[in-house]
Amino acid sequence: MDLSTAMTKIDTHQYLTVKDFLGDVDLISSNALELSPCEGKVIRFNA
């Protein structure tokens, strides 16, 4: 999941609930943390 995909899902009304959207936001955050192994607090906080 990435921001572009989430934006497309918003534009095409694919999210039926806020919970669905927040699940994708959580997935984006998890992916960012997994792909950016830097242990720096600033980077991890902003992800």
Residue 6 identity: A
Query: Residue 28's pLDDT is what?
Result: 94
8 Å CB contact between 6 and 21: yes
Task: Please give the tally of structural domains in the chain.
Answer: 1
pLDDT digits (tens, 9 = 90+) for 29-38: 998 888 876 6
Mean pLDDT of the residues in the chain: 86
Mean pLDDT of 21-47: 78
- The more confidently predicted of residues 39 and 19 is 19
Query: Residue 1's pLDDT is what?
Result: 87
8-43 burial string, b = 16+ CB within 10 Å, else e? eeeeeeeeeeeeeeeebeeebeeeeeeeeeeeeeee
Which structural domain range is residue 14 located in? 3-46
Angle between helices 18-35 and 3-11 (to 10 degrees): 170
